[in-house]
Amino acid sequence: MKLSTKTRATTLSVALASTLALSACGASNESGTEETSGGGSTQELSGDLAGAGASSQQAAMEAWQAGFQGEYPDVNFSYDPAGSGAGREQFIAGTTAFAGSDAALDEEELAAAQERCAGGEIFQLPNYVSPIAVIFNLEGVDELNLSPQTIAGIFTGAITTWNDPAIAGDNPDATLPATAITPVHRADDSGTTDNFTDYLFQAAGDVWTAEPDGVWPLPGGEAANGTSGVVEVVTSTDGAVTYADASRAGDLGVANVAVGEEFVAPSAEAAAAVVENSPAVEGRGEYDFAIEVNRETEGSGEYPIVLVSYHIGCMQYDEEETTNNVKAFMEYVISEEGQQAAAENAGNAPISESLREQAQTAVEAIAAG
């Protein structure tokens, strides 16, 4: 009895000591970031921080908002999921401080955006990365290997049954039924469709010739409204296949996509990997990290069907308050904690360490003039 109390006490003190050590460590970390942030005491932020843009980021944005406002309760944060195009327009017009966008600014928008910013410089950070999975409902089959040409053939309607030789060739071990394929696409205008068709356009060669677009570019086929709509239709239809955020696959079958010689399943790591190894858009500013996703990658463990959504803002605003708010918010978004919170809420892929470091250089450079 006595002994056990003593042991417990020892354990307790050890635990206490390590906690103290850890908190000390944390404290030193904190002071470190405060030093680098440079712009006064971060705890006293107030005023407004308004953003608008991609609805794909909405769930992640809710998590970021919760985390950010937990730290800075006096900042009046708002994000209007009005759509990527509207988000970029509002940012350029100066009605919002930052934009969320599934597409990077084009040259024309870039020039207008630079005019809108106090220092004439903007940042574009690929902070939201989400793998898009090819999801199917086929009795007795949970996993399939599909090449980009096969996926394109399925969605153009050239491949009509699941036991087609093109599918069977890549899946020698699967027993494929002769069920008819029902390809389901989004009825609404969406960044998911834009990225999926961009992938097919680049990776599937001459099987897919339609220009990438947010609205499904081919006539015909089954269409449903929103991610939940397509998933609902696939769930209730045997032989149906669609594309959607990987986190929404649930119990449905998920395809492994051919990359080089191997087949890669959609995962957070594989999505982050392809973004990390994609080339930057050339001729952009120092902190403009717009990328061209490498859809034709052959890199091992890279999953090329990803949706990359950006945060676009100014390196410097007319008002110091806005500058500080944007800086603090972006700091939180790219932090491990922020990315983890978003991943839990939205099911997206947290950005990799090197992407974080890259973004960190931009966030640190945000400053009032």
Partner 1 sequence: MTATKAPIETPSKQPPVRRPGDRIFAGTAKGSGIFILLVLAGVAAFLIGEAIPALTAPSADIPGGEGLAGYVGPLILGTLLGAVLALLVATPLAVGIALYVTYYAPRRIAAVLGYVIDLLAAIPSVVYGFWGLAVLAPALVPFHVWTAEHLGWIPFFAGPASTSGRTMLTVGLVLAVMILPIISAIAREVFSQAPALHREAALALGATRWEMIKLAVLPYGKSGVIAGAMLGLGRALGETMAVAIILSGGAGATVNLISNSNPSTIASNIALRFPEATGLGVNTLIASGLVLFLITLAVNMLARWVVNRRADFSGAN
- Which residues contact partner 1 (rule: CB under 8 A)? 55, 82-86, 89, 180, 182, 184, 187-190, 214-216, 219-225, 229, 232-233, 236-240
Closer by beta carbon to partner 1, 182 or else 316:
182
Q: Least distance to partner 1 from the beta carbon of 176, Å?
A: 17
In this structure, are residues 272 and 351 in contact, taking their beta carbons and an 8 Å threshold?
yes
Q: What is the bridge-based pairing of β-strands 122-136 and 253-259?
A: antiparallel
Closer by beta carbon to partner 1, 230 or else 268:
230
Closer by beta carbon to partner 1, 89 or else 302:
89
Q: Least distance to partner 1 from the beta carbon of 197, Å?
A: 14
Burial 214-239 (b: 16+ CB within 10 A, else e): bebbeeeebebeebebbbebbeeeeb
Q: Least distance to partner 1 from the beta carbon of 136, Å?
A: 13
Nearest 5°: the CA angle 277, 278, 284 is 125
Q: Least distance to partner 1 from the beta carbon of 18, Å?
A: 51
Distances (CA, A) of 227 to 100, 139, 167, 224, 242: 19, 22, 25, 8, 10
Closer by beta carbon to partner 1, 209 or else 225:
225
- 320-334 and 58-71 are packed helices; what angle lies between their axes, rounded to 10 degrees? 110
Closer by beta carbon to partner 1, 85 or else 299:
85
In this structure, are residues 189 and 197 in contact, taking their beta carbons and an 8 Å threshold?
no
Report the C-alpha gap between 235 and 137 in whole angstroms. Answer: 6
Q: Least distance to partner 1 from the beta carbon of 87, Å?
A: 9
Q: Least distance to partner 1 from the beta carbon of 78, Å?
A: 17
Closer by beta carbon to partner 1, 32 or else 221:
221
Report the C-alpha gap between 209 and 212 in whole angstroms. Answer: 9
Closer by beta carbon to partner 1, 189 or else 321:
189
Which amino acid does the sequence have at 268? A
Q: Least distance to partner 1 from the beta carbon of 241, Å?
A: 11
Query: DSSP 3-state assignment of 271?
Result: helix
Phi, psi dihedrals of residue 115, rounded to the nearest 5°: -65, -35
The conformational region for residue 38 under phi > 0 = left, psi -120 to 50 = alpha, else beta, is left
Residue 141 β-bridge partners: 138
Closer by beta carbon to partner 1, 85 or else 119:
85
Q: Least distance to partner 1 from the beta carbon of 188, Å?
A: 4
Tokens of 341: 């919170």
